Amino acid sequence: MNVSTAVFYLIALITVVSAAMVAFSRNIIYSAFSLLGTFMGVAGLYVFLGADFVAAVQVLIYVGGILVLILFAVMLTHRITDVEITNRSAGTLPALLVVGVLAYLLIDAGLETPWAKAKQLVYEATAGKIGDQFLYTYLLPFELASLVLLAAMIGAVVLSRKEIKE
């Protein structure tokens, strides 16, 4: 087993174990910090898949933006000194059953289906190619994305401001 395979196993383990911590931890702070492991692990998987730009975007937006937002919301909505269980869960057994069957079916489908194979695996810088595609093939979705982000920003500001009554 060479080094890159070992690193791949390590990254896969970090991703899955952190996701399990998010799902099963009884303290919401631990859940939120475990999300960091999942996001970084997924970024590592992107590097293994030759998607350097997506990996960088994942680290910048998920770890730098979304995770900070989630921690911010956790800290604002919980009194940290409370020792009680902050992350209640209900209906665990039926959910475990449904999710287990679904995971089995997904893994089975992934292993059994004869997926199309690319002629060769390419490992090259993707940022230029993605930038070209954004400004040719995907120009309309790209512009719509900026509109969506503007609408989300205005919506978040409107929702979270204090109501001032006359």
Partner 1 sequence: MSPNDLSSYLIIGAIVFALGLFTVLTRRNAISVLMGVELILNSANINYVAFSHFSSGNADGQIYAIFVIMLAAAEAAVGLAIVLAIFQLFHTIDVEAAETLKD
8 binds partner 1 per the rule CB under 8 A = yes
# chain residues binding partner 1, by CB under 8 A = 83
CA atoms within 13 A on the CB side of 105: 6
CB of 52 to partner 1, least distance (A): 10
Contact status: 22 vs partner 1 (CB under 8 A): yes
Give the pair of three-digit tokens for residue 16.
């899955």
Strand, helix or coil for residue 103: helix
Residues 6+ apart with CB under 8 A from 154: none
> Shortest gap between Cβ of 166 and partner 1 (angstroms)?
19
Shortest Cβ 165–partner 1 spacing (Å): 14
Q: Which of 4, 82, 165, 166 binds partner 1 (CB under 8 A)?
A: 4
DSSP letter, residue 162: P
Which x/- pattern, by CB under 8 A, does the window 113-152 give for partner 1? --xxxxxxxx---x--xx--xx---x--x---x--xx-xx
Map the footprint of partner 1 across residues 65-124, applying CB under 8 A. 65-66, 69-70, 72-74, 76-77, 86-92, 95-96, 98-100, 102-103, 106-107, 110-111, 115-122
Query: Positive or negative, the Cα torsion across 81, 84, 85, 87?
Result: negative
Contact in structure between 15 and 41 (CB atoms under 8 Å): yes
Residue 40 interacting with partner 1 (CB under 8 A): no
Nearer to partner 1, 147 or 166 (CB): 147
Report in angstroms the alpha-carbon separations of 9 from 2, 70, 76: 11, 28, 37
